[in-house]
Structure 1
Amino acid sequence: MTHLDAVFAAAARARRAVFMPYLVIGHPDIETSLALVEALAAAGADLFELGIPFSDPLADGPVIQKATQHALDHGVTVALCLAAVRELRDRGIQAGFNLMGYFNPILAYGLERFCADAAAAGVDGVIVPDLPPEENGELAAACRDHGLALIRFLAPTSTAARVQMVTQQAEGFLYLVSLTGVTGARDALPADLAAFVARVRALTTVPLAVGFGISTPEQAHSVAQVADGVIVGTGIVKRAAGPDPVTTVREFGQTLAAAMRRA
């Protein structure tokens, strides 16, 4: 059983979904971003999506775009992100870590080198939103060689053929995009989200985590009833940019972790 498998299995035994917060490494600065991970882990986060800053984050809305640009402006690189993960492991954080990054910086770093260094740092999975399944073979092989899960995406607009392809490739968990569009808070989640999750679940036993648009404990609790994991990004990143970010994010994380309980 991999670390990711163990995280989802433990949550299932406790009758709750996995709480997966998203943070940008280096936002608002490196040390604070590390403290935010520690605070969320203490609040009950099971698994993290840690963003590698990129200049053209096409899947992200304005809040995360601004945060990643801020990190880039302050010199955050792929190498610094890997060092941040190593530091978090050295500090004793046991939660799962997924690095979320766009393909160009990973390619520039070197696919084999990136996977080797990520595994050595303590990363469990890699999420690359702009790498389609038809083109992920080289990175998938490098991940496999170093014991990393390459996390795949499905969206409500995915065709039956695409769902079939991606579920056959799936490892670690599947990232289900709850809606069409970019990341960001929404007033309501799609009415057909449960049906989308069920459509994918019929084809795979890999855990299903839902992200995009989940910004309140009430929304998170609703998603936790149908999915194995709940990903919250914009609501956390927005609070990380405010006053007393560690306390504010910790308190928000506590409400989200409590919302993972299944009815």
Structure 2
Amino acid sequence: MTYINPVYQYGIEAFVKDLAETSVKGLIIPDLPNEHADFITPYLKDSDIALVPLVSLTTGIERQKQLIDGAEGFIYAVAINGVTGKTGNYRDDLDKHLANLTAHADIPVLTGFGVSTEEDIKRFNAVSDGVIVGSKIVRDLHDGKEEDVTEFVKFGSHFEK
């Protein structure tokens, strides 16, 4: 995951080339609207790297359809209104939204943003194809809690679809 400005600064072609050399298979650029992705998608397609869309509860139905139809790799379902790393405060209609999104997509729907507990993993794994945990792991590693990270990853790895 990166933002668009570092990609521009690095150079689009060089950025994608270097990603491909590291075996990256998907790229998330949260501040890149789908309508403006044409400048990078040809390079990604040539390198077999998927541009992963973000879909949230506030994404309108028509826009969801557009994002699902054009998606490759997986769909990143955003669980919270806000930035990654923020936890809790999920909307009451989130599970229904995730189940609906998963039912209409022909590629995996993974839920992230705010996922930080074992209960979150159980909940979202039941209504989507999997979960993404990032900020909690980074925070725990920063705080020297390597054993907590190991246990958390072990817990999450027991879920199979």
- TM-score of the pair, normalised by structure 1: 0.57
Deviations 1:177-210 (A, max 9, x none): 0121112343453321221123323432011011
1:207-222 matched pairs, under 5 angstroms:
207-222=108-123
1:189 corresponds to:
90
- TM-score of the pair, normalised by structure 2: 0.91
1:155-234 matched pairs, under 5 angstroms:
155-234=56-135
1:110 corresponds to:
11
Aligned partners of 1:155 and 1:187: how far apart in 2? 15
* Partner amino acid, structure 2, of 1:257: S
Aligned partners of 1:257 and 1:221: how far apart in 2? 11
2:26 corresponds to:
125
CA contact (8 A) 1:155 1:178 kept: yes
CA contact (8 A) 1:125 1:172 kept: yes
Consecutive unaligned residues of structure 1, counting only runs of 5 or more, are 1-99
2:153 corresponds to 1:253: yes
| 1:232 aligned counterpart, secondary structure | coil
Q: Report the Cα offset of residue 256 of structure 1.
A: 2.6
| 1:136 aligned counterpart, secondary structure | helix
CA contact (8 A) 1:153 1:174 kept: yes
2:139 corresponds to:
238
| 2:48 aligned counterpart, secondary structure | coil
| 2:104 aligned counterpart, secondary structure | coil
CA change 1:229–1:135 in 2 (3 A) is same
* Partner amino acid, structure 1, of 2:146: V
Instruction: Give % identity.
Output: 35
CA contact (8 A) 2:44 2:50 kept: yes
1:57-96 matched pairs, under 5 angstroms:
none
Which has the bigger relative contact order, CA under 8 A and spacing at least 6? 1
Give 4+ residue runs of structure 1 displaced > 4 Å after superposition: none
Q: Report the Cα offset of residue 141 of structure 1.
A: 1.4
Give the strand-richer structure, 1 or 2.
1
Q: Report the Cα offset of residue 133 of structure 1.
A: 0.5
* Partner amino acid, structure 2, of 1:172: G
CA contact (8 A) 2:54 2:76 kept: yes
Deviations 1:135-193 (A, max 9, x none): 11111111001111111111100111211111111000000101211123434533212
Aligned partners of 1:232 and 1:180: how far apart in 2? 16
RMSD value over aligned CA atoms?
1.7
Q: Report the Cα offset of residue 261 of structure 1.
A: 5.0
* Partner amino acid, structure 1, of 2:137: I
Consecutive unaligned residues of structure 2, counting only runs of 5 or more, are none
Aligned length: 161
